[in-house]
Amino acid sequence: MGVIGSSIKRREDPALITGRGRYTDDLSLPGMLHAVIVRSPHAHARIVSIDAAAARAAEGVVAVYDGRDLVPGGEIKGVPTGWLLPDLKVPVHPLLAVDRVRYVGDGVAVVVAESRYAARDAADLVEVEYEPLPAVVDPAKATADGAPRIHDEAPENVAFDWQLGDREKTDAAFAAATKVARLKLRNNRLIPHAVEPRACLADYDPTSGELTLRMTSQNPHVHRLLMHLASMGLPEHKMRIIAPEVGGGFGSKIHHYPDEAITAWCAINLKRPVKWTATRSEANLTDAHGRDHATTAELALDDGGRILGLRVETYAAMGAYLSTFAASVPTYLYGTLLSGQYDIPAIHVHVYGVFTNTTPVDAYRGAGRPEATFVVERLMDAAAEVCGLDPAAIRRRNFVPPEKFPYPTQVALEYDSGNYEPALDKALELAGYDALREAQKAARDDPKKPLIGIGLSSYIEACGLAPSQVVGALGAQAGLWESAKIRVQPSGSVTVYTGSSAHGQGHHTTFAQIVADKLGIDPEQVEVVHGDTEKVQFGMGTYGSRSAAVGGSAIATATDKVVAKARKIAAHLLEAAEEDVVFDPAADGGPAFHVRGVPDKRQGWGDVVLQAYLAHNYPDDLEPGLEETSFYNPSNFVYPFGTHVAVVEIDRETGEVRLARYVAVDDCGNQINPMIVAGQVHGGIAQGVGQALWEQAVYDDSGQLVTGTLLDYAVPRAHNLPSFETDHTVTPCPHNPLGVKGIGEAGTIASPAAVVNAVVDALKPYGVNHLDMPITPEKVWRAIHLKGAL
Amino acid sequence: MAVQIRVEVNGTTYEREVEPRLLLVHWLRDELGLTGTNVGCETSLCGACTVLVDGRAVKSCTQLAVQADGSSITTIEGLQQNGELHPLQQAFWDQHGLQCGYCTPGMILAAADLLAQNPRPSEAEIRAALKGNVCRCTGYHNIVKAVRQAAEQMGGG
């Protein structure tokens, strides 16, 4: 086995296990001030007045600014949205609210003081008088007649009205159907909860005009570009954004929020470094939330359980403003995935993006794809029930067969490669499916035993978010390629500069493996640099399970370019024609070039590298040095897939659901580091199980977030979960140089449907055909004891 | 009104004046520069700030620095002995028990408390002991494996 494919221990870890990891809030600068943002306690209100006199007079306070102070010359600087749809209503999103607040947590003022404690004290002294306005929080109600208008730009609170697929063909499929499965689904609103809250440290040098912003970012270059274009207006080359260690993101650190721009603005204005760090309750109010769909979905089938058509209507909450990639999530990352693993001849999806008086909603781990998988996989179980088929059988019957790849769906995508049945088979075998069904029967007949439920989820994912021409045509305001620069030092060690930006994924390890494998050198000879706009060429960052497939491919491509140049040098040294010289990274005695068919006529890699810098004995037409860059722009997304099986036990008396087992068989193509792949799957599963059973951002009717702390918002904890049983199949990606697909979101995409399918399966004897997430003991108890009277 | 405290941290005794309302975690991080202890919430619910106070796991975001007067504290920076990783640190590395690393110091110290009380914990006991520490990356799977490895290595197992 080569270095690629080995479970090498992570080189990130020695710093992190000894307390030497440096996260943003760990950093300090001389003369540093602390910012605290005063936030609206109302979901919707007119700002009558802001009186900051007492706050300004408080000990240690240096400045207090409100929304009007941040609009010198009257031009409101706001945070932009980065994905446009036709007729998208894009309201202005000022850095601090001017005249009106639109969700609990909307910033109204910023207090800057000599210490964290002084700033927090003074924030309470800022007197804001509000005139409360009626609020709306439910996406299904926001478009009703008489609903409060949130933005003048969107009179009916509709940000977009978007359709995909063929409506007529789908209607015809339903007309021809003999069976129909129909569900109303609520995809619960989630709060990301990266354990490190967002933070930033802004430092401005008035002599050079340079701003250095250290921040919790998944994509420093994208943040810099957005801040240049919209919120800050500083020249791009005068802004340096650094992502130090980042304590988890899950999407929440992709977006351009007002807070980092406010902090930077304070540092520029005060000419002193300013730090801002969110508290947890502040993070819960302001980190972009995820999901929040109200959906009606129908599947048309024939008597044999073959799918004829799929119809979906979704109201997707956008929250109070359009966050950075908000418009893409319930459209091109959702509607396009509704074919699942199935050969569906007709699909139509209609999505309304609606404003509500809530925290903005944007990409959260999976971003649209968990919602799509939930629709499809819940419908498959409902269809199995309607058709009298086993859930495994109906899936098998409708899988896209392996010979149909590349497979064009009815919803705009072309699946690159897939082989779905072996993954299902492996998952069923690992789970012991037949024995589980027997145990389930036995348990049903014994009232002393907990009910057993078995749930399947066969998911598809489009990830490696990338093909620039494609995403550009769909509304992205950015290209989604990735960059890599490979610098070979004269002594042969290598530095990799990647535009990908890790926050827990292990890039230092896996990216070094790619280069080490291709060059035949020790991974310890390879250093990986990322997360700093001054060190690294423009890059797109880490999200959408794109780092290995796009960032890794860029590294592989740049490494190939290095080898190609070195080959010219080797050919010169070997006095052979270039085309006759081959590179063997695994040669006896170390990596070397040799003349084809003559292994003894060789030049060691190290000698060739050194010659690139000496250039003494060197081709005339070649520049010295050995450093190559690749901007890798893939031709398609990648499409990982798999089948997960959840086994639940339900206490009939309390309604409590215990996740007894969880089996995951995933196919992400070739694996660079299987240990890291499995770790990504584990974490993803836990987040999806959290959505299914415990997590929900709850707003009351007045728009107060009543799950604003970890006391009310239940993230999964160690005792809630079993150890997971994971395995994989390997269907390489046919269109990238490593044959890899993404794995970061797979667990989160598959698991909500698997768990809900298992619970509904367990409750079949009680006539239950659906329960909304999170499936609390109360919901289950009511279903059992009140016969579904919810 | 500052208050005098005397606290041993990672083997060094500090005598300092602190504001009565200063949180222990801010004293450790901002005044002693021990930034290995992280803050993930302000309600003692995430466990990222866990340190050992007189050998027991304590969430330092909900304890005042003055309450630590007279005690002996171990943070993640003080866990290594003679330059050797503590078996828990080694096990978290070996078993891929961390991803972003933010919860890791607190998780390791909570586990250290567990193993001091119960050198041979079952999986269920490990999971119960760590329920006050949130990890959003690993799903806890490899954390449990790491604690088991450390327990074995430390002679329990």
B 83-112 → A contacts, CB under 8 A: 85, 89, 92-94, 96, 98-105, 108
Domain locations in chain B as residue ranges: 3-78, 87-153
**DSSP letter string, A46-96:** EEEEEE-HHHHHSTTEEEEEETTTT-GGG---B----B--TT------BSS
User: What pLDDT is attached to residue A455?
Assistant: 98
A627 CB-contact burial (10 Å; exposed 0-12 / middle 13-18 / buried 19+): middle
User: What pLDDT is attached to residue B69?
Assistant: 98
How confident is the prediction for chain A on average, in pLDDT?
96
Task: For the domain covering B3-78, report its CATH number.
Answer: 3.10.20.30
In three-state secondary structure terms, A718 is: helix
In contact, A143 and A347? CB cutoff 8 Å: no
| B59 CB within 8 Å of a chain A CB | no
User: What pLDDT is attached to residue A790?
Assistant: 43
pLDDT tens digits, A375-399: 999 999 999 999 999 999 999 999 9
User: Most A CBs within 10 Å: which of B100, B133, B148, as the mutation test of the A interface?
Assistant: B100
pLDDT confidence tier of residue A1, bands split at 50, 70 and 90? low
How many other C-beta atoms can be found within 10 angstroms of the C-beta atom of residue B83? 5
Alpha carbon of A30 to those of A265, A272, A275, B16: distances in Å?
Answer: 18, 9, 12, 22
pLDDT confidence tier of residue A656, bands split at 50, 70 and 90? very high
Q: Which residues contact A234 (CB under 8 A, 6 or more apart)?
A: A209, A211, A227, A228
**What is the distance in angstroms between the Cα of B6 and the nearest Cα belonging to chain A?**
23
Helix (H) or strand (E) holding A175: helix A167-176
**DSSP letter string, A551-573:** IIHHHHHHHHHHHHHHHHHHHHH
pLDDT tens digits, A578-622: 999 999 999 999 999 999 999 999 999 999 999 999 999 999 999
Task: Please report, rounded to a whole number, the percentage of residues in chain A having pLDDT higher than 70.
Answer: 99
User: What pLDDT is attached to residue A465?
Assistant: 74
User: Most A CBs within 10 Å: which of B22, B31, B92, B141, as the mutation test of the A interface?
Assistant: B141
pLDDT at A643 over 90: yes
CB contact under 8 A, A683 and B136: yes
**DSSP letter string, chain B:** --EEEEEEETTEEEEEEE-TT-BHHHIIIIIS--TTS--S-SSS-S-TTEEEETTEEEETTSSBGGGGTT-EEE-GGG--BTTBPPHHHHHHHHTT--SS-SSHHHHHHHHHHHHHH-SS--HHHHHHHTTTS--SSSTTHHHHHHHHHHHHHTT--
Q: Count contacts between A and B (CB, < 8 Å).
A: 185
pLDDT confidence tier of residue A231, bands split at 50, 70 and 90? confident
Domain locations in chain A as residue ranges: 13-133+196-247+253-286, 293-465+636-785, 482-632
Cβ contacts of B45 on chain A, cutoff 8 Å: 709-711
User: What pLDDT is attached to residue A789?
Assistant: 43
pLDDT tens digits, A149-189: 999 999 999 999 999 999 999 999 999 999 999 999 999 99
pLDDT tens digits, A189-199: 999 999 999 99
Asked if CATH classification 3.30.450.20 holds for the domain at A13-133+196-247+253-286, the reply, yes or no, is no
pLDDT confidence tier of residue B157, bands split at 50, 70 and 90? low
CB contact under 8 A, A718 and B35: no
Superfamily of domain B87-153: [2Fe-2S]-binding domain (1.10.150.120)
Cβ contacts of B143 on chain A, cutoff 8 Å: 718
Tell me which of 1.20.120.330, 3.30.365.10, 3.40.50.1470, 3.40.50.720 is the CATH number of domain A482-632.
3.30.365.10
pLDDT tens digits, A199-228: 999 999 999 999 999 999 999 999 999 999
Cβ contacts of B127 on chain A, cutoff 8 Å: 718-719, 721
CB contact under 8 A, A280 and B134: no
CB contact under 8 A, A248 and B102: yes
| Cα pseudo-dihedral A77, A81, A82, A87, rounded to 10 | -120
> How far is it, in rounded angstroms, from Cα A544 to Cα A228?
24
Tell me which of 1.10.443.10, 3.30.365.10, 3.30.930.10, 3.10.105.10 is the CATH number of domain A293-465+636-785.
3.30.365.10
pLDDT tens digits, A114-144: 999 999 999 999 999 999 999 999 988 999 9
pLDDT at A77 over 80: no
Cβ contacts of A245 on chain B, cutoff 8 Å: 100-102
Do the domains A293-465+636-785 and A482-632 sit in the same CATH topology, yes or no? Answer: yes
pLDDT tens digits, B43-68: 999 999 999 999 999 999 999 999 99
Cβ contacts of A508 on chain B, cutoff 8 Å: none
pLDDT tens digits, B100-153: 999 999 999 999 999 999 999 999 999 999 999 999 999 999 999 999 999 999
**What is the distance in angstroms between the Cα of A602 and the nearest Cα belonging to chain B?**
39
Predicted complex ipTM: 0.98
